[in-house]
Amino acid sequence: MDNAMANHTTGLEIAIIGMAGRFPGAASVDEFWQLLRDGQEAIAQLNADTLHQQGVDETLLNDPQYVKAGGVLADVDQFDAAFFGYSPREAELLDPQQRLFLECAWEALETAGYDAESYDGSIGVYGGAGMNGYLFNLYANARVRESASPYELFLASDKDFLTTRVSYKLNLQGPSLDIQTACSSSLVAVHTACQSLLSGECDIALAGGVAVSKQQGYRYQDGGIYSPDGHCRAFDAQAQGTVGGNGVGIVVLKRLEDAQRDGDTIDAVIKGSAVNNDGALKVSYTAPRIDSQAAVIRAAQMMAEVSPESITYIEAHGTGTPLGDPIEIAALSQAFRQETERKGFCAIASVKTNIGHLDAAAGIASLIKAVLALKHGQIPPILHFQQPNPQIDFANSPFYVNTQLADWPESESPRRAGVSSFGIGGTNAHVVLEEGRPQTPDPRPQTARGRC
């Protein structure tokens, strides 16, 4: 590949100019990178007192199949209600997921250096949320039932109001769309935001997801998606499932040419993205499918107009299930093999081994991890990997499992990564990322563009 092709631009690139997030063991994006770089697991072992407070009864606690582990998110009960113009009563009714998403949206815009009140373009919001378990607590509280109307609870709880609440509170006048595709929701939100930017519907877009449920364990079931010991062993021979986690993440997106013109800090560039669905040709509604996963990966690569050989890191969906892992590697191999027969050149890992499966926020956690790896020029290690799943032939694939913190070598082409997220029900998403580029600052005063 010559250097001109290696650095080819299509005019469809999207810059990531800001990020914010909170994850198990990490209260910020910077802390998240520290956790990933150091190869730490943030799955908490939960004690009986904590589980009692979360409503787990004694019978379940004593069940030998009950796994007392999960990806705990700190301070989910904390919210600066007054800052966003909420009364204490309104804040009490509001789903914690919506509180966290709102706070994260404000923080993400701040990291990008933009003030929505003075910015002269339009800002859109795209996001998804997990199931609201908080509402059950409200209904169980007699005081709340007697003082709040069903309509108030509806407005404070329903997923439909996740992004429009952000638009209202931050005065954002671009599109405001809730994206719900189960586990792939937040990466599909990123894809949708990119399409809106390219079509001119908005000038800046916030995209991400949130998932906060009761922070408790689960009952292990043979053949289920959850592991028997509270650890996720993606791609390993001993993998038997994942573990639940909680988190929130948002990225700030802008057309690359606009970001370069305006002198924005560019964390990474989205070269291409794609979304599809498995359809009916699979063994069950919840099962993954090789061909459709391969198709969405290949579609993103084709939109990016990059060779698979130039992609040297994949942040995989990587749930650590005996069925899902071999299918994912087979799909990736099928996509890559359309252009290359090289073996073992692309590192692969999964953030779920660090923080668990974040449901609707899983894809954005993976994306932020990959962006951080590009920014720092290092690939963080996967955890708990010893021997490959016997159904995965890594030796003859383009991939190797990255088990140690590794410097990411430079080459004639920019560093590139792929990020996958696959939802129960078959909506698949893939994004091709590239490391950030130098900007050409705009000579206009920054205050004219609404910069902080």
Q: Among all residues, which ones are annotated catalytic?
A: 183, 317, 357
How many helices (H) and strands (E) would you count in the chain? Answer: 16, 17
Phi, psi of 407 (to 5 degrees): -65, 140
Cβ burial 376-403 (10 Å sphere, 16+ → b, else e): eebbbbbbbbeebbeebebeebbbebbe
Residue 108 to residue 373: CA distance in whole angstroms: 19
Neighbour count for residue 28 (Cβ, 10 Å): 15
Report d(CA 161, CA 182) in Å as an integer.
17
The Cα–Cα gap between 82 and 430 comes to 39
* Gap between the Cα atoms of 161 and 165, Å rounded: 6
User: Which residues, 6+ apart, have CB-to-CB distance to 375 below 8 Å?
Assistant: 267, 268, 435, 436
Show Cβ contacts of residue 290 under 8 Å, excluding neighbours closer than 6 positions: 327, 330, 331, 334
